[in-house]
Amino acid sequence: MKFRQPLSLKPGDKVGIVSPSSGMPFLFPWVYKQGIERLKSVFQLEPVEFPTALQSPEYLSRNPQARAEDINTAFADPSIKAIIATIGGNDQIRILPYLDKKVLSVNPKIFMGYSDCANIHLFLWNLGIISYYGGAIMTQFAMGGGMQEYTVHSIKKALFESSIGEIQTAMEYSDADLDWGNKENLNKKRPMYPSNGWLWHNWNNESIQGRLWGGCLEVLDFHLSVKRYLPNFERLNDTILFIETSEEMPTDGFVYRFIAALAELSLLKKFKAILVAYPKAQFCNKLPPSGREFFIAQQQEAIKSALRDYMADIPVIFNLNFGHTDPQIIIPSGGLVSIDSTQKTIRFS
């Protein structure tokens, strides 16, 4: 299947705002408002709030079809040039049966979001539509103390240009949270940690290219169990897997079993390489028992160990800046990535 890249935006374009997962904008409207204002002031785009955008968590939980209808309507509306999710959640898979494949397929346009939005990204991948993993209204756009320039640069590349191009490692990053219930945090910057740079594992001075497939590891793990929205396995031949973990902070055993499941299903051997983000290693001041640094090392070792146990010498790059840490690079799911391990470069096209 040939993948289609949605048309890029222009300043002044209308962007649909949807809540396909949880109802955090209802609970913390001041955070949501800050994100919407940034969409207008930083990117000169016109937000169009769809009915579910500000609905309560209870309403959204009871009405998965309404959430899906907003997605269908936004794709069908020719005046809407892109769709951005307010935030993730944990039950977006429930809206997938109500998404209109024909409507989405004949009206490809930019969809941006991450975490639980991996469900929609997987759905669009199956339709051959490139989508953009990252950049939610309540998190990256509403970032306390101002949007991070690294993130702004990547979002602008995704929204306004035909290619994100070569990416760089961020010099520092954060997985810390600021309490949304405290409005003073709207202007407060979160603590940052020095980056260790990309860690290249199993590489032998080679250059590879492949199509990107992946998302939030916990969501992908769910899909491996239900097997309803995975692509035909042959379509994953020579793709490049990208994975990141959420605030659920899955154990190293969980991560090991995910890689092992890919191997047992004969999927692991289909990937030419794996891109792994820095894991989120704290949530609302809750740290893993082992501490942040050991937790990160344990997750990386779990992936290396699973690859060794299944005799898979797949090249891996750890410590990328996407997913549940900030700043973020936007990943073009379904797009192509070129990796040169000699020059230590990664380019999205």
List Cα–Cα distances, 284 to 33, 175, 217, 280, in angstroms: 21, 10, 20, 11
Q: What is the CATH number of the domain that holds 192?
A: 3.50.30.60
Q: Give the pLDDT of residue 164.
A: 96
Q: Give the pLDDT of residue 237.
A: 98
Q: Give the pLDDT of residue 285.
A: 85
Is 76 contained in some domain?
Answer: yes
Residue of 31, 285, 296 whose CA lies nearest to 176: 285
Burial label for 259, CB within 10 Å (0-12, 13-18, 19+), is: buried
Is 9 contained in some domain?
Answer: no
Side chain identity, residue 24: M
What string of pLDDT tens digits covers the 349 residues of the chain? 799 999 999 999 999 999 999 999 999 999 999 999 999 999 999 999 999 999 999 999 999 999 999 999 999 999 999 999 999 999 999 999 999 999 999 999 999 999 999 999 999 999 999 999 999 999 999 999 999 999 999 999 999 999 999 999 999 999 999 999 999 999 999 999 999 999 999 999 999 999 999 999 999 999 999 999 999 999 999 999 999 999 999 999 999 999 999 999 999 999 999 999 999 999 998 999 889 999 999 999 999 999 999 999 999 999 999 999 999 999 999 999 999 999 999 999 8
Is 1 contained in some domain?
Answer: no
Q: Tell me: do 218 and 339 sit in the same domain.
A: yes
The DSSP letter of residue 326 is B
Q: Tell me: do 128 and 194 sit in the same domain.
A: no
- Using CA of residue 287, residue 288, residue 290, residue 294, what is the dihedral sign? negative
Is 3 contained in some domain?
Answer: no
**Distance of alpha carbon 298 from alpha carbon 322, whole angstroms:** 19
Q: Tell me: do 286 and 305 sit in the same domain.
A: yes
Is 6 contained in some domain?
Answer: no
Domain boundary among 140, 163, 186: 163
Q: Which pair of tokens denotes residue 187? A: 């202007």
- Residue 347's DSSP bridge partners are 166, 338
Domain boundary among 135, 163, 191: 163
Q: What is the CATH number of the domain that holds 76?
A: 3.40.50.10740
Do 290 and 168 form a contact (C-beta atoms < 8 A)? no
For the chain, how many structural domains are there in total?
2
Q: Tell me: do 328 and 208 sit in the same domain.
A: yes
Do 270 and 237 form a contact (C-beta atoms < 8 A)? yes
Is 7 contained in some domain?
Answer: no
Q: Tell me: do 197 and 318 sit in the same domain.
A: yes
For residues 76-100, b (16+ Cβ closer than 10 Å) or e, as one string? ebeebbbbbbbbbbeebbbbbeebb
Q: Tell me: do 145 and 53 sit in the same domain.
A: yes
Is 92 contained in some domain?
Answer: yes
Q: Tell me: do 53 and 151 sit in the same domain.
A: yes
Is 8 contained in some domain?
Answer: no
Segments in the chain forming alpha helices (H): 24-27, 29-41, 57-62, 64-76, 101-106, 118-126, 149-160, 217-226, 252-264, 292-309
Q: Give the pLDDT of residue 92.
A: 98
Helical packing angle, 217-226 and 118-126, nearest 10° = 60
For residues 111-123, b (16+ Cβ closer than 10 Å) or e, as one string? bbbbbbbbbbbbb
Full-model pTM: 0.97
CA dihedral 110, 116, 118, 121 (to 10 degrees): -30
Phi, psi of 302 (to 5 degrees): -60, -40
Range of the domain at 311: 172-348
Q: Tell me: do 331 and 186 sit in the same domain.
A: yes
Q: Tell me: do 143 and 186 sit in the same domain.
A: no
Q: Give the pLDDT of residue 247.
A: 96
Q: Tell me: do 276 and 223 sit in the same domain.
A: yes
Cβ within 8 Å of residue 251, ≥6 positions away: none
**Distance of alpha carbon 212 from alpha carbon 208, whole angstroms:** 12
Cβ within 8 Å of residue 22, ≥6 positions away: 57, 60, 87, 88, 89, 90, 116
Side chain identity, residue 139: T
Q: Tell me: do 103 and 236 sit in the same domain.
A: no
Q: Tell me: do 327 and 183 sit in the same domain.
A: yes
Do 163 and 349 form a contact (C-beta atoms < 8 A)? yes
Domain boundary among 142, 163, 184: 163
